[in-house]
């Protein structure tokens, strides 16, 4: 047998060790692939939850029913601008009317408007108390704190 037989036996042992290492590597690779798929699945779920939450928040902010979020396609971003654009385009299908006038114009209680008009009328027709300009001029002309104290104590 000689040298060749001895070399062959070494190769055989090496092949067995090689196959064992390959098996271990394949096992590790399967475990890593499995973990990778789990993490990808978890990431996808988190993305979906985040998108749903963002859509619901934006819709609630606009005074719309959060259920509309389920009707918005996945290719529409969850940004406020993208949702505004989608609502402008498809909102009429769901009974959502969005006009530029209604979004810029706020509803104000008529009693508040009437009160403000009364205040404006009083302010515009009122006169300054007599001597007010004179008092302001004296305050502005005061040279030190003693003069200011004398002005205020005189009143």
Is the distance from CB of 88 to CB of 100 less than 8 angstroms?
Answer: no
Given this model, what pLDDT does residue 100 score? 44
For 28, the token pair is: 């590790």
Given this model, what pLDDT does residue 36 score? 93
DSSP element (H, E) containing 82: helix 80-90
Does residue 44 or residue 11 have the better pLDDT? 44
Given this model, what pLDDT does residue 105 score? 46
Given this model, what pLDDT does residue 29 score? 93
pLDDT above 90 for 155: no
Distance in angstroms (rounded) separating the CA atoms of residues 129 and 119: 18
Does residue 6 or residue 126 have the better pLDDT? 126
Is the distance from CB of 87 to CB of 96 less than 8 angstroms?
Answer: yes
Given this model, what pLDDT does residue 28 score? 92
pLDDT above 50 for 102: no
Cα Rg of the chain, angstroms: 41
Q: Is 125 helix (H, G, I), strand (E, B) or coil?
A: helix
The single-letter DSSP state of residue 102 is H
Given this model, what pLDDT does residue 119 score? 77
Q: Is 139 helix (H, G, I), strand (E, B) or coil?
A: helix
Q: For 59-68, 83-92, 128-137, which range has the lowest pLDDT when averaged over its residues? A: 128-137
- How close are the terminal C-alpha atoms of the chain, in Å? 131
User: Where are the domains positioned within the chain?
Assistant: 2-107, 113-154
pLDDT above 80 for 14: no
Confidence of residue 13 (pLDDT cuts 50, 70, 90): low
> How many other C-beta atoms are found inside a 10 Å radius of the C-beta of residue 17?
10
Does residue 80 or residue 134 have the better pLDDT? 80
For 87, the token pair is: 């609502």
Given this model, what pLDDT does residue 16 score? 59
């Amino acid at each position: 047998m000689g040298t060749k037989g001895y070399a062959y036996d070494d190769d055989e042992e090496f092949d067995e060790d090689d196959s064992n290492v390959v098996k271990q590597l394949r096992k590790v690779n399967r475990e890593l692939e499995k973990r990778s798929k789990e993490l990808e699945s978890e990431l996808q779920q988190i993305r979906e939850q985040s998108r749903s939450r963002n859509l619901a928040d934006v819709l609630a902010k606009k005074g719309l029913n959060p259920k509309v979020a389920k009707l918005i396609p996945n290719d529409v971003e969850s940004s406020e601008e993208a949702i505004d654009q989608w609502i402008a385009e498809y909102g009429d299908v769901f009974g959502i009317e969005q006009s530029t006038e209604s979004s810029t114009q706020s509803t104000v209680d008529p009693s508040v408007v009437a009160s403000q008009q009364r205040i404006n009328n009083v302010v515009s027709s009122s006169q300054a108390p007599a001597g007010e300009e004179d008092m302001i001029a004296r305050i502005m002309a005061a040279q030190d704190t003693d003069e200011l104290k004398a002005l205020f104590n005189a009143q």
